[in-house]
């Protein structure tokens, strides 16, 4: 075994995290080595505490305290129990909540249909989503998925899967962001903005 094997393994493990490529993983690993008694120790402590006290909600997939399962979003009686916002990842729930305009329930798929990443029908939380729709009397399913090819394939699959159920199926509006201009938008964004246009009152 190489004397640098622990460093190589750390880089490999860090690069498995979302949004962190090989180069970023190497920079993080070097920073931890340089500050081994400070940052590395704090990170080790934080990870240990997280393992002990944080989990994902069995119901919706949101990040929650271990003693709060189901989470506060699932048990809050003021939220609309007939709306289900389907997202790819628990981090998306945090962002939508921060926007403050949605007051229904959530369901995180924990991925999307992606053969290249070995993510398929059996690896994402589809069965539990369908069970919730049937058992919780859901009237509307809002697909808050990304706009890449794999997410679009997931939306198409969900449209077919839920087509026979008496639920309204909708997707987040897509188009030109606030503060953006037509001259800076790519053709796909412009096309979707035109398709999703709204009538002025």
Cis (ω within 30 of 0) for the bond into 25?
no
* Residue 1 pLDDT greater than 60, yes or no: no
- The Cα 128–Cα 71 span in angstroms is 16
| 3-state per-residue secondary structure call for the chain | CCCCHHHHHHHHHHCCCCCCCHHHHHHHHHHHHHCCCCHHHHHHHHHHHHHHHEEECCCCCCEEECCCCCCHHHHCCCCEEEEEEEECCHHHHHHHHHHCCCCEEEEECCCCCEHHHCECCCCCCHHHHHHHHHHCCCCEEEECCCCCHHHHHHHHHHHHHHCCCCCEEEECCCCCCCCCCHHHCCHHHHHHHHHCCCCCC
**pTM beyond 0.75, yes or no:** yes
- The Cα 139–Cα 101 span in angstroms is 18
Domain spans of the chain, in order of start: 76-201
Q: What is the pLDDT of residue 115?
A: 60
* Residue 88 pLDDT greater than 60, yes or no: yes
pLDDT digits (tens, 9 = 90+) for 31-77: 999 987 788 889 999 999 999 999 999 999 999 999 999 999 999 99
Q: In whole angstroms, what separates CA 21 from the centre of its chain?
A: 19
The owner of tokens 């679009």 is 152
pLDDT digits (tens, 9 = 90+) for 146-180: 888 888 889 999 999 998 999 999 988 877 777 77
- Under the banding of pLDDT at 50, 70 and 90, the label for residue 195 is confident
Q: Is CATH 3.40.1360.10 correct for 76-201?
A: yes
**Candidate from 97-101, 121-125, 129-133 with smallest mean pLDDT:** 121-125
- The Cα 54–Cα 66 span in angstroms is 5
Counted residue by residue, the chain has a size of: 201
- The Cα 7–Cα 93 span in angstroms is 34
């Amino acid at each position: 075994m190489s004397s640098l094997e622990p460093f190589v393994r750390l880089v490999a493990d860090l690069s498995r995290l979302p949004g962190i490529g090989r180069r970023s993983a190497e920079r993080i690993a070097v920073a931890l080595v340089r500050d081994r008694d400070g940052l590395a120790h704090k990170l080790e402590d934080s990870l240990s505490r997280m393992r002990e006290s944080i989990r994902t909600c069995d119901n919706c997939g949101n990040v929650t305290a271990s003693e709060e399962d189901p989470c506060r979003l699932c048990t809050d009686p003021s939220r609309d129990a007939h709306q289900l916002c389907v997202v790819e990842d628990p981090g998306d729930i945090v962002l939508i909540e921060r926007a403050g305009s949605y007051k229904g329930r959530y369901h995180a798929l924990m991925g999307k249909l992606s053969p290249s990443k070995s993510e398929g029908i059996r690896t994402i939380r589809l069965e539990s989503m369908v069970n919730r729709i049937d058992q919780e009397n859901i009237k509307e399913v809002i697909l808050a998925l990304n706009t890449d090819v794999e997410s679009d394939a997931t939306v198409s699959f969900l449209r077919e899967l839920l087509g026979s159920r008496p639920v309204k199926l909708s997707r987040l509006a897509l188009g030109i962001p606030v503060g953006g201009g037509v001259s800076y938008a790519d053709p796909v964004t412009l096309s979707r903005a035109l398709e999703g246009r709204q009538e002025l009152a």
